[in-house]
Structure 1
Amino acid sequence: MKEDFLHYLWKFKKFDALNLKTLHNEEITIVNVGQYLEMAGPDFFNAQIVIGTQKWAGNVEIHLKSSDWYVHHHEKDKGYENVILHVVWEHDIAVFRSDNSEVPVLELKKYVEKATVENYQSLMAPKSWIFCEKQLKEVDKFALRNWQERLFFERLERKSQPIFDLLEQTNQDWEGVLFCLLAKNFGLNTNGEIFYKIAQSIPFSIIRKESFEVENLEALIFGAAGLLDSEKEDNYFNDLKFRYFYLLHKYQIEKIGIEPVQFFKHRPDNFPTIRLSQLANLYHSQQNLFSKISSLNSLKSSYELFQITASEYWQNHYQFDKESPKKKKTLSKSFIDLIVVNTIIPIQFAFAKSQGKEISEDLIGLLNEVAAEKNTIIEKFTSFGIRSKSAFETQSLLQLKNEYCNKNKCLECAIGMELMKKC
């Protein structure tokens, strides 16, 4: 048994609340269980409790055993002086405040039904992947849908924080922030962080000014990536290299060291050369990209906006100096889906939040058009009966697994709560 189970019992009064007594046989009446803030200090703040004939207002501390008070050194912390009730599963020692007054104790195990404990033990039984994997099919579909919406927006809140941090660094330049986010998206998992650093190393004002010549954009991006550092006989390579050093001098850009981009284990169409060229062509072909992306409201319009290809040179190259069969290297629909999920939706959410606008339904509507993602987490949920029809549902499940299942927060999860009710 863990303390979070006791927190759950107290928060939702999952016990015989009408017949409570302290260990000294004083009647307890709960007026308000208090606020569960999950922060330093007592577990529940501003509770209101009648003990005997005296009404108290203060905090409630919860432990598995009374002696945990001393194990956690609460006797040395003034923040625990105003604890009005010590709720424990098992009492083993009296606890005193600094003025030697005894803290009233409620031994909770006397008032909790056996079936409630058994249901908790069943939920928290040894797992192969997640605790509730054998019970997921039992969850009410309506409750699951509501929980998925909550999870989705929790995930967006987390994704939006780096956006706001970057806005602070760029003097609220939404276009510049979008450039960095798109660069990271174009780099996928392997090169995402490297592409992000590349984008950060080039002031977006320069990208704006040079966007009319795609060769200049490629020179800036390829040069920042270190792809122009060597010596080659390739004419295109040497042209980009000349442009790069000219632009460094023109704008007084300081070249910084960035770790090498990775080619290993990538399909050729995902080679960093191809993705960086596509990124350059996007900014060459689309002016004021942020205003267009912030107003996208359908998957079809997203596909139309990102109808771009790598430069002509890259139609028969994947690397400098190595010619290959000609192939037009456009963005696939599945790649644009990733852009919608990882860049468009988060930046739309962050921008609306900064403007005080409510666009929740629009975001859900757009993401419901995107095909469900395919990865090992989603496959596992499918095997347990939770099938996803769209990226809205898969994004919710990723949040569930990473932030609740992996952290054993079953009693803070709507699914866990629903299963506990079935007792």
Structure 2
Amino acid sequence: MQEDFLHFIWKYKKFDVSNLWSTKGESISVVNLGQHNHNSGPDFFNAQININGQLWAGNVEIHVKSSDWYVHNHEKDKTYDNVILHVVWEHDSDIFRKDNSEITTLELKDIIDSMLLNSYNKLLQSKSWINCETDFSNTNEFLINNWLERLYVERLERKSKDIETLLFASNNDWEAVLFKMLVKNFGLKVNGESFLSLANSFNFPVIRKIRPELSDLEALFFGQAGLLDNDVQDVYFQDLYERYQFLKQKFQLNNQGIMPLQFFRLRPPNFPTLRLSQLAVLYHREPSLFSDIIKVNTKEEFYKLFKVEASEFWNTHYTFAKISKSTKKKLSKSFIDLLIINTILPLKFSYAKARGKAIEDSIFALVKSLDLESNSITEKFLSIKPLDKSGLTSQALIQLKTEYCNKNKCLQCAIGSYLISKNE
């Protein structure tokens, strides 16, 4: 028996509330279950319980066994002085407050429907890719769609906390936060952390000062990334090298702590050389990028805003040392979609939240207009059940798998709760 299952039972009244008796034979009537507390302290705050005809207001604590009260040292913690009801699966010990007054105990094991318990055990003991894999396909469409929207907002909330950390480190400079997020996401999974370490290696005002000269931006990015350390006999390379040496002295640059870049296992269009050049072109061309991003709300507008290509040298190169067939190295729409999902939408959400504005409708409209991300998680879910193929779905499914399925949080999942309850 798990304590979170008992929380679920209490929170959703999965027992006969019309005929409750304490372990001492006192009548119990639940007027208000209380508010579920997910932090430290009693499990449910501000409950109202009628015990033997007297109305009590206070907190409810839940344990598998009554003796867990002493195992957790609650008798020594004044936070638990206002507990009015102890709800347990099995009563094995009388419980007393610090003032030696006994706490009324409700035992659940003999009043829970056996089918509910069987459904819970069946779900949690599953060895499938997700616990509910055999039942997921038959789950109500309306329930799934609403749960996916909630999961997407939850994922935005999580990302907004990371943005708050970046904002604090950047002295509340939203442009600087955008820059760091864009740089990281230009590096994708393989070079994301390396690119972020590059962005953290100098202050954003350096970008503002050198932005008018594209070659200076490229020199800064390539130099800090360690890509100008080799001796390449090329006019473009030598110009960047000399510019970097000047910038390095002028701004006291240091690139010793930057993580090395990876080329291995990357398709040439994703080589860090091209991504850094494209990033430089973007910042050279867009002097007010953050303001533009906040104003824009459709994917077509974002495709136009991010319609950039690497500088001319890279038409015939993927690396500094080797010439390749001539082709313009543009940002693809699929790559821009990733930028919208991983950088722009979280940033717009956080910026609106910081100003007390609700923009969920416009965010939903934008993310639903994007194509579904193809990865192992989305592909597996879609093989189980057909779902809307949008960016919202892919982000929500990642949140579902990583934060709920992988952690066996079926009772906190709308789908898991539904499946456990439907046969009771």
Residue 230 of structure 1 corresponds to which residue in structure 2?
A: 230
Deviations 1:253-279 (A, max 9, x none): 444421211111111111111111111
State the AA in 2 paired with 1:273. Answer: T
1:70 is aligned to 70
How big is the shift at 1:420? 2.8
**In the alignment, is the contact (CA less than 8 A) between 1:341 and 1:391 conserved in 2?**
yes
- Taking the TM superposition and a 5 Å limit, the aligned residue runs for 1:162-177 are 162-177=162-177
Structure 2 counterpart of 1:83: 83
Q: Tell me the secondary structure at the aligned position of residue 326 of structure 1.
A: coil
Counterparts of 2:72 and 2:408, CA distance in 1: 22
Kept in 1: contact 2:201–2:258 (CA 8 A): no
Match for residue 240 of structure 2? Answer: 240
Q: 1:136, 1:386 within 8 Å by CA — same for their partners in 2? A: no
Deviation at 1:153, TM superposition (A): 0.7
Task: Number of aligned residue pairs: give it.
Answer: 423
- Find the aligned partners of 1:125 and 1:293 in 2 and give their Cα distance: 47
Q: Encode CA deviations 1:305-364: one digit per residue, 9 max, x unaligned.
A: 111111111111122222222221111111111111111111111111122222111111
8 Å contact from structure 1 (residues 309, 329) kept in 2: yes
The 8 Å contact of residues 226 and 255 in structure 2, kept in 1 or not, is answered as no
TM-score by length of 2: 0.95
Distance 2:125 2:241 in 1: 61
**What CA distance in whole angstroms lies between the structure 2 residues aligned with 1:351 and 1:61?**
38
Query: Which position in structure 2 is the counterpart of 1:407?
Result: 407
Query: Which 10-residue stretch deviates more, 393-402 or 64-73?
Result: 64-73
- Do 1:388 and 1:394's aligned partners in 2 also have CA atoms closer than 8 Å? no
SS of the residue corresponding to residue 308 of structure 1 reads coil
Q: Which residue of 2 aligns with 1:374?
A: 374
1:101 aligns with 2:128: no
Aligned to 1:321: 321
Kept in 2, the 8 Å contact 1:382–1:388? The answer is: no
1:136 equivalenced with 2:104 (yes/no): no
Matched, 1:344 2:344: yes
Partner SS, residue 86 of structure 1: strand
Seq. identity, %: 55
Quote how far apart the aligned CAs of 1:365 are.
0.8
Q: RMSD of the TM alignment (CA)?
A: 1.6
SS of the residue 2:164 aligns to: helix
Q: Does the aligned pair in 2 maintain the 1:263–1:271 contact within 8 Å?
A: yes
Q: Using the TM superposition, give the Cα deviation of residue 242 of structure 1 relative to its aligned residue in structure 2, in angstroms.
A: 0.5
Structure 2 counterpart of 1:199: 199
Runs of 4+, deviation exceeding 4 Å: none
Secondary structure at the aligned position of 2:264 is classed as: coil
Contact 1:201–1:256, Cα closer than 8 Å, also in 2: no
The range that moved more, 133-142 or 368-377, is 133-142
Question: Distance in 2 between the 1:39 and 1:307 partners?
Answer: 46
- Measure how far apart 1:55 and its partner are: 2.2
User: Counterparts of 1:246 and 1:357 in 2: how far apart (Å)?
Assistant: 44
1:386 to partner: Cα distance: 4.2
Which residues in structure 2 correspond to 1:140-159 (within 5 Å)?
A: 140-159=140-159
Aligned to 1:422: 422
Query: Structure 2 CA distance, aligned partners of 1:359 and 1:31?
Result: 37
Q: CA deviation at 1:163?
A: 1.6
Counterparts of 1:198-277 in structure 2, within 5 Å, are 198-277=198-277
Residue in 2 aligned with 1:307?
307
Residue 110 of structure 1: aligned partner:
110
Q: Partners in 1 of 2:96 and 2:30 — Cα distance? A: 22
- Paired amino acid for 1:56: W
Q: Is the 8 A contact 1:75 1:97 kept in 2?
A: yes
Other-structure match for 1:391: 391
Aligned 1:15-94 pairs, distance under 5 A = 15-94=15-94
SS in 2 for 1:264: coil
Pick closer, same or farther for the CA change 1:105–1:386 going to 2, 3 Å.
Answer: farther
Give the secondary-structure state (helix, strand or coil) at the position aligned to 1:47. Answer: strand
Q: Is the 8 A contact 1:316 1:324 kept in 2?
A: yes
> Partner of 1:283: helix, strand, or coil?
helix
Contact 2:193/2:259 (<8 A) preserved = no
Rounded Cα–Cα distance in structure 1 between residues aligned with 2:267 and 2:316: 15
Uncovered stretches (5+) of structure 1, i.e. residues with no partner:
none
- Aligned AA for 1:413? C
